[in-house]
Each structure stands twice: as structure tokens, then as C-alpha cells.
Amino acid sequence: MLTVNHLAKSYDGEKKNLTDVSFQVAPSEVAVIIGPSGAGKTTILRSLNQLIKDDDGEILLDDVDLRQLNRAELRRARCQIGMIFQNYNLIEP
């Protein structure tokens, strides 16, 4: 189970790019995040595997808060998380 509670992120300390984002995704469940450009979809996904440091909240993967892990623990947790980047840079343009 993935549980996100009250996730918040501001890139510049002023504009709130994510404010109080909460949701749950059960095992085998397929979830889609829909929103206009700039709404924060990529920011949420990058927070899930801690590619960016968010400001507040909880990201619980099977009751382990990914935000609280040290580097080695996070490396192990990331082995369970697949990510396809929006600009996936597979070949030179």
C-alpha cells in the first residue's frame, strides 16, 4: 500500500507547488494523476522516490516513511519503485 499524507512542496520557498496532497494506492491498483500543465503531477512523482526533497508530509510504502530513510535505505526502497521520466532521454534529439 502506498499512502501519501499532506505532502507539500515549494521550490522557491514562496510559491506553493504542492499543498496538502493526500492519496492512497492499494497493491495492484492502477492510479492516474490528471491535471493541467504545472499542476504538480511530476513533482508528486519525483517526491514518491525522493528525487526531490519535499517540505512536509508522509510517504508511506507499506508503513515505511520514505521521507525518513537514510541514503542506503532509500537506495533499497527505490529498487521497488519503477519510474519512467517525462523526458526519458533514451536517445539524443
CA distance 59 to 14: 23
Long-range contacts of 83-87 (CB under 8 A, 24+ apart): 83/45, 83/49, 83/51, 86/42
CB of 16 to ligand ATP, least distance (A): 10
Taking the least distance from each CB to ligand ATP, the nearer of 38 and 82 is: 38
Regarding 17 and contact with Mg ion (CB under 5 A), the answer is: no
Regarding 42 and contact with Mg ion (CB under 5 A), the answer is: yes
Regarding 13 and contact with ligand ATP (CB under 6 A), the answer is: no
Regarding 51 and contact with ligand ATP (CB under 6 A), the answer is: no
* Piece of 5-13, 19-27, 35-43, 55-63 that binds Mg ion (CB under 5 A): 35-43
